[in-house]
Structures are given as structure tokens and as C-alpha cells.
Chain A
Amino acid sequence: MLILNCPCCGVTAEETEFHAGGEAHLKRFGPDSSNEDFENYMFMRQNPKGVHLERWRHNNGCGKWFHAARCTMTLEVFGTYSAQTYEPPKEICDLISAKRPGWSWGAFS
């Protein structure tokens, strides 16, 4: 069972209070985009074995969205951070790098 901290309201709770929302930092493409861009945005996912940056919603709490960095091989949660960002903040990257040297996620590391 995962234990997450909501960066919006500060509550730390187990996962039944939250709802998983899939991969974070997707670049959105609309009707005018190319087929490849739209397919990438709509269906293609990193689905990594290892570090996963993902969206969560504090459903049974403040109701706000946030991001989490988690390992899909060990279920370890490295940290959570605000969803109002295009890339993970440096302190989250440092936390992950300390435990998973050499990890990468697209352009981030």
C-alpha cells in the first residue's frame, strides 16, 4: 500500500485517499497537430520499469491534483510535488538520482 504526501494540503495518507491519474508531464496536442504527435499524446506511454513520474488526485481530501515520483519495480515513493510545473523540480530529481544513479525520463534527469 502506497503512502503519499499531498503537496497541496500537506496531508500524508495511504492510497485509498488518492486516485492515480497516469503519466505526468505529457505534452498535449490538439486537433491541428500531426497524427504522430496526437497518437503520442493520446496513447503512447513511457511505462518504465523503474522511476515513474505520475499524476495523482487527492480525491478524498482537498481534491487537488499533484505529481509523484515513484519506482514501479519497488513501489518506493521518492517524493511528491506540485502539478503546476512542466518538469520535476531539482530537489525531486536529486532525491531520485541519489537512489537511482543515472536514471532518465525523456529530457529530465
Chain B
Amino acid sequence: MKRYSAFAIAREATRYHSGWERAWRAPEPKTKYDAIIIGAGGHGLATAYYLGKNFGITNVAIIEKGWLGGGNTGRNTTIIRSNYLQDPSAAIYEKSRFLYETMSQDLNYNVMFSPRGVIMLAQTHHEVRGYQRTAHANALQGVPTEWINPQRVKELCPIINLEGPRYPVLGGLWQARGGTARHDAVAWGYARACSDMGMDVIQQCEVTNIRREGGKVVGVDTTKGAIDCDKLGIVVAGHSGDLANMAGFRLPLESVALQALVSEPIKPAMDVVIMANTVHGYLSQSDKGEMVIGGGTDGYNNYTQRGSFHHVEETVRALNETFPMLSRLKMLRQWGGIVDVTGDRSPILSKTPVDGVFINCGWGTGGFKAIPGSGWAMAELMAKGHSPLTDEFGMERFIEGRFIDESVAAGVAH
């Protein structure tokens, strides 16, 4: 792999940019790999990357039904934060946020990580108490966050209207090192690094069956033929239930649509990320100038990657009150993704009843921020059989009653 650098740009500028190579190879599948990862989204690619980087396992294939990063990795609103209430969540999300800080250098690929700061608005007294509690919990966890008053919110975000009649701003939970990153670049950067380590990223290849012998996985059948493997990682977000079905076990998941939309591009107006959980509105401004808005989930099971219009309407209506200038903006695009939501709104990173099959799912509405940490932990789980970051996230927690109840902490899916 040729490294990207200022010198490379200068060199290519002298020869009509004819020397750039493809960022990753497009190989045909081999007959056998040490490990197969199903799903070439952020989490799957990160898992493969850390399998190679941290554990030297490079005979790996990453199999993708569609195209690389074309699922929820390319559909989210790119918010990165780690201000969680529960210790296991804070540990994995903070690991993730920490890895984002140096990801561009580590991957030699500009993921445009922008630690611009995240404010979670408190718009009810319940949220005020909840976020103050989270700020204290974060202090104990070593995650720098801060409770700020409405005047400080206004300083950080001048376009906000503090005195909305329905949703007044009563303060906020401020994480200065939170921010955003370019979501496609995260997937592309990992894919390039994986390909460079000799791993095969195989796109347009759907898994149709998971073959088992004596309670152990031996391989998968795909639309490009049968492939054998010793270990299998299922990292497919919304379609996890379907894959688990092929492997013969069930998951405590439901798949629903989550929607987002962007406005026409405008000049820089807001240089922080705002999350308003009460009204399910998540707002940031992209580098292109579009206001990026995330909404809430639909209430019913759905695999269609589109949601109901009235959820978009509810989000925008509520955000208009808090950000009056948004009312003059035209919205350019709107889309949906299928997210898998667990009973306690926390992810599952776990061994499964099938020997050699590992699953990473249930990130629900907030998986993008967790990509590097999730990959790091999942790689350790697959290589060593356990990881301190995933111990609490096993699927047996539902039968044992050891929930990681972020749905109570956040008041909403998060």
C-alpha cells in the first residue's frame, strides 16, 4: 500500500494523478479462512482490523451482502460521545472515543474526526437530574464531562432559543472531546488497512447458510460459493436476527427503522453537536454546511430502510422551536436505516450457543460512535475467548437479569 501524504499529493500532481492505486483489492473468496466476519460496515471492518493489528490474525475475510459501509455506517448522523451512565457502557464508548482521536494517523486515512464538543440538552426537570447524575458518574469513570447552565449553552451555541414555551433549555451535559467524524471514511479507512494486511474484503456476497458440525461452526454458504472457517463473527446490525436464525439460536432483538435528514448547505452557524433527547432531535452542521438532523425510531418492526414521515415531522417541528432559524431551511434528503434494539438498549458482544460463532449486535440507535472500541473488544473476544470490555455485554445477561440499563439512563433509545 502506498501511504497517503503531502509528498504523495505533490508527486502525483506532477504526473496527472496517474499513480494512485485502488484503496483496497476486490478478491474472489478463498476456500478457507481462519476467521470470517459477516458484515463490512464499520463494526465488522474494525473487528477484522484489530484481529490483525492486535492479535496477528490476518487470514480473514470480511463478507458483505451489499457494498462496503452501505448500511447504517453510511446512514447515521456521525455523533461521537462517551457520556454514559453505566460503567460498562462508559468503558467501551470511552475506549472508542479515545481511538477516534488518533484514527486518521493510525489508518493513514483522513476520517475527519472533529472533537467539536457535544451538548445533551436538558429540557425537562427529569433530564436535569438525570444528566447531573451522569456528570457525577462520568467523573468517577474518568470521562471528562460537565454540567453546564443555560447561559453557557447559549455561549456555545448562539442559534439556540432558550425560552421555548414547550421545551425550555434548562442546562446541558457537555462533553468537550465529543464530536463527529466522516462516517464513510471510517469504513473506507478500515477496509484499506485490512486489505493491506492481506485480508479479503468481499462485497456483493450474501451469506445464505451457516454450516455447523457437532455444535461447532465449520463455514458459511454464500452467493459466491461455500467458504470454510474456524471462527465466525456476525456483525450485521439490523439483520442480526436473520443470521442468528441460520446459526440456530435466537436473539433478544427487534429491528426498527431510524431516520435522518439533511438541509441545504448554509454558512457555518453551529460548531457543536446538539442532542435533544426529549424531542428526539439530534443536530450538527457538516463540513459541507448541511444541517444534519437525526430523528427517533418508528414504533414497529421494519426491514425496509424507510420510516414514516410523521416521525420526521415531529422531530423537525420540535427542533424548530429550539432552533428558530431552521424553519427557513429546505431539507434536501431524508433516509432510514434498520437498527436492532435490545431489551435494555445496550449492545450484545458475546459468544453464542454455537462454538466458534461470536456476535456483535444490538447497538440500536447509537452504533457509529462505538465503531473502534467495539472492533477492539470484539477482536479480543474472538481471539482470546473473552475481553474485559465485553464481559458485561454477554447475551446471557438477559436470563441472569444483569441489565446495562441505558434506556433508563438516557430516557430514550440512545
Binding site for B on A (CB under 8 A): 1-2, 15-16, 19-20, 22-23, 35-36, 39, 42-45, 47-49, 52, 54, 70, 72-75
Contact = CB atoms under 8 A, between A and B. Distances in A.
A49 B303 contact: yes
Contacts of A43: 252, 342-343, 398
B345 to A, nearest CB: 12
Given A1-B308, A54-B301, A45 B254 contact: yes
A42 B310 CA distance: 29
Contacts of B264: none
B304 A75 contact: yes
B255 interface: yes
A2 B399 CA distance: 35
A48 B250 CA distance: 11
B353 interface: no
A36 B398 CA distance: 10
Q: Which 3 A-B pairs have the closest CB atoms?
A: A43-B252, A20-B299, A20-B300
A90 to B, nearest CB: 24
B253 interface: yes
Interface in B284-313: 298-304, 308-310
Nearest to B252: A43
B360 to A, nearest CB: 17
Contacts of B252: 39, 43-45
Interface residues of B, number: 23
17 contacts: A15-B308, A16-B310, A20-B300, A22-B254, A23-B301, A43-B342, A43-B343, A43-B398, A44-B250, A45-B241, A45-B252, A45-B253, A45-B254, A47-B251, A49-B239, A72-B302, A72-B304
Nearest to B255: A47
B399 A75 contact: no
B405 interface: no
Contacts of B255: 47, 72
Contacts of A70: 300
B166 to A, nearest CB: 19
Contacts of B34: none
B301 A72 contact: yes
A76 B100 CA distance: 41
B242 interface: yes
A102 to B, nearest CB: 16
A73 B301 CA distance: 9
A98 to B, nearest CB: 21
Contacts of A23: 254, 301
A2 B308 contact: yes
A16 B312 CA distance: 12
B254 A47 contact: yes
Interface string B241-258: 110000000111111000
